[in-house]
Copies of this chain bind each other. A is one copy, B any other.
Amino acid sequence: MLSMKTQYAFKALMYLAQKDSEGPVLIAEIAEKKGIPLKFLENILLELKKAGILDSKKGKGGGYFFNQRPTDVRLAKVMRLIEGPIALLPCISLNFYQKCKNCDERHCGLNVVMKEVRDATLQILESKTVSDISKLSL
């Protein structure tokens, strides 16, 4: 199951994508419309900014907006950034690999099956973008 943080991140990104042409959006507006605790949302948006996905502007008329185009932000990227590994086991993860103890990966049936799951999941999350899911929500 995804953490609240990740779910909030996706919701915020969808909201921003829908308002993409309208200039900076207030954190408070996103928080209210999407039912996200304000301070928590600040952290999330900041993380997305540091990763180069969003940008922000301070002061009056400020707020958050996309730095990259929503059509370029793949869901897998957001997942890895906020949630961490996509694979179900550390010994399978492409970006967060860790060897597992007492287990020869070349002869581990669990490894084989979980790789199948990872590949199926990745195929979906790498092919869909924030723009895709925001458009599905109209």
Chain A residues within CB distance 8 Å of chain B? 1-2, 7, 10-11, 14, 33-35, 75, 84-85, 87-90, 100-103, 107-110, 112-113, 116-117, 120-121, 123-125, 128, 132-138
Contacts and interface: CB of A to CB of B under 8 A. Distances in A.
B124 A136 contact: no
* Interface residue SS majority, chain A: helix
B133 A90 contact: no
Given A1-B88, A85-B1, A88-B2, A132 B109 contact: yes
A50 to B, nearest CB: 23
B117 A134 contact: no
State the number of copies, please: 2
Given A120-B124, A128-B113, A102 B2 contact: no
Nearest to A135: B109
Central interface residue in A1, A87, A102, A125, by most chain B CB within 10 Å: A1
Contacts of A135: 109
Nearest to A91: B7
A92 to B, nearest CB: 10
A37 to B, nearest CB: 12
